[in-house]
Amino acid sequence: MSSSRKLLVLAILGFNPLYLSAADADCLDVLVHAPYDVADYRHESFVFMDRASTKTERDHLDTSGAGGMNIDGVPIQASDNHNADRQLSESHRFQFQSTDRESFLTYSGQSKILDTWATCMVSQGGIRLRFEPNGANGDANDVVLHIRYFPAVVEGRELEQPDFRLFQRVAIPNAKSVSDPNNCLEPTTVYRAGKGACDVQIKTFSPWDSFSISLPFRDPKDNPVSASAFLPVRATIKATSKPWPSNQADGMLHAHAETSAGEQSATVRKTVKADAGFFILHKINTSRSGNTSDCTVKAELDENDGTSATLETRIFYAGGIDLHCYGHFSGTQVQLSWEPLK
């Protein structure tokens, strides 16, 4: 039975969708398969933090529609994500619960994610909390808590949901300051389905501050319902890049087949490392020169950590004359770090 048909049947039977189990009422699953438009992310760091959730360890962002992105003008392709994850985790290891992943994705501000999430919520209704950056001022310590009571619209019909009030006034002790001009956190405020969001302005001490908030609601019959959200870390990623190899001579590899000595082929390989603290992006440019076209050049990046690449120049046929082939290799090496440092 589809979720919309299930809600309609439950409504007919007298059940309110707000009281469905967490498994039935969770819109996280639709986000796993939502298209990621990384260019629309407000903070590229959330791509990497999202993958730190335990659910994403099994359902990696690379397989859910993600492409590349630019961080400080440095192109990070999907094929570079593993090395980027590794380097960032060396400076600060993240591990988040799968239940917090929804908060990461909705905080990103990515329009496709928010639209998919809101569409799911309208199909089932209920009160949900969501954090997001406060405007475009760039202050990572300035965030907004949205409290929204979604209507439940099934097959064009809006189902009835009860009004709610908070059981008691809610404080946010982890915050540096809280501005609540709309009395969103007061028990006097009545929440009605489909009437828009109530916003709370929050300032934190540091972008590394993260915490959960839970709001205890009661309906007119004194039935309890709670809603919660997780405020992610808002540190951002700093990228430093420079040409690779650092030593220009390492970017050339010469193969020589001396036919007078009976050499019909020649293969030369060497491993060139990135500078300390850097990794090499997957896109390595190759070209060749010399007195033969019977030559191939290739570069294979170390798949373990991307800190080195094996270069090869190969002459595969030499007939009659001594042959020379020069392989030329160039790329970009990158260092990623969190900013500010914790």
Which of 53-62, 155-164, 207-216, 281-290 has the lowest average pLDDT? 53-62
- The percent of residues in the chain predicted with pLDDT above 70, rounded, is 74
Q: Extract the tokens encoding 226.
A: 């709670």
Confidence of residue 26 (pLDDT cuts 50, 70, 90): low
**C-alpha–C-alpha distance, residues 160 and 164, integer Å:** 13
Residue 95: predicted pLDDT: 57
Give me the pLDDT at residue 67, please. 53
pTM: 0.72
Spell out where the chain has E strands.
69-71, 74-76, 126-133, 142-150, 152-154, 157-159, 165-166, 177-179, 197-203, 211-218, 224-231, 236-244, 252-257, 266-273, 279-280, 285-290, 295-301, 308-315, 323-339
- Side-chain-side CA neighbours of 49 within 13 Å: the count stands at 25
Section 63-84 average pLDDT:
71
Cα distances from 174 to residues 61, 104, 205, 233, in angstroms, run 31, 19, 9, 13
As to burial, measured by CB atoms within 10 angstroms (0-12 exposed, 13-18 middle, 19+ buried), residue 232 is buried
Average pLDDT for 297-321: 89
What's the CA gap between 334 and 281, in Å, rounded? 7
Using one digit for the tens of pLDDT, what is the confidence trace for 217-249? 999 999 999 999 999 888 878 889 999 999 999
**Reported confidence tier of residue 339, pLDDT bands at 50, 70, 90:** confident
**According to the model, what pLDDT value does residue 280 have?**
97
Can you give the length of the chain in residues? 342
Burial of 14 (0-12, 13-18, 19+ CB in 10 A): exposed
In this prediction, what percent of the chain has a pLDDT beyond 90?
46
Residue 92: pLDDT band with limits 50, 70, 90: low
Would you state the structure tokens that stand for residue 267, as one six-digit string? 């293969």
3-state helix, strand, coil in the chain (%, to 5): 25, 35, 40
